[in-house]
A = this chain, B = another copy of it.
């Protein structure tokens, strides 16, 4: 058996397997993402799976979901002064680029796991909820920082995440960017309207 030493920052077989799992899930769903497919995609040797992931496929799915959660979170995080509209554009722009680069095959891995997870263990569901909730909170924080009230920021963030995920599914199915572009504009409008209300109410 070959052993690999994984050091922080090292893009070793462990990281490659997690990335491959997320990339496969976003195209074909979790159920169809077999260990064989992950090995073939990552180029990792078979013996390395249980070395790096003693929990096997279930652990790989969990870590890939966490990876995808962090991937989106990075796009939503930022500095307090960041324009919330620019943050939304960054997220939508990233997924628009992914759709175009994959001939409309790439959706959101977290949604794919969520849709199939009724049969899966609670740990995997926790990862899914953790990712959605983290995105919602990061986006809400952007809205609060821009001056929108806390409660309203939470609602708007929830709507934005729901509409984004729904539109990504539609754009992928239609093979057309219109759904994503439409919800991007609608969320812009809603946030702008809310900011205008906030400014009117300012002393």
A residues sitting closer than 8 Å to B (CB atoms) are: 27-32, 105, 107, 111-112, 114-119, 125, 128-129, 132-133, 155, 158-159, 161-167, 169-170, 172-174, 178-179, 182-183, 185-186, 190
In the bound complex, how far is the Cα of B116 from the Cα of A120, in angstroms? 16
Is there contact, CB below 8 Å, between A179 and B166? no
* Other contacts beyond A162-B162, A162-B164: 17, CB < 8 A: A28-B119, A29-B31, A29-B116, A31-B32, A32-B116, A107-B118, A111-B115, A115-B115, A125-B173, A132-B170, A155-B182, A158-B170, A158-B179, A162-B183, A163-B166, A166-B166, A166-B169
Residues of B within 8 A of A166 (CB): 161-167, 169
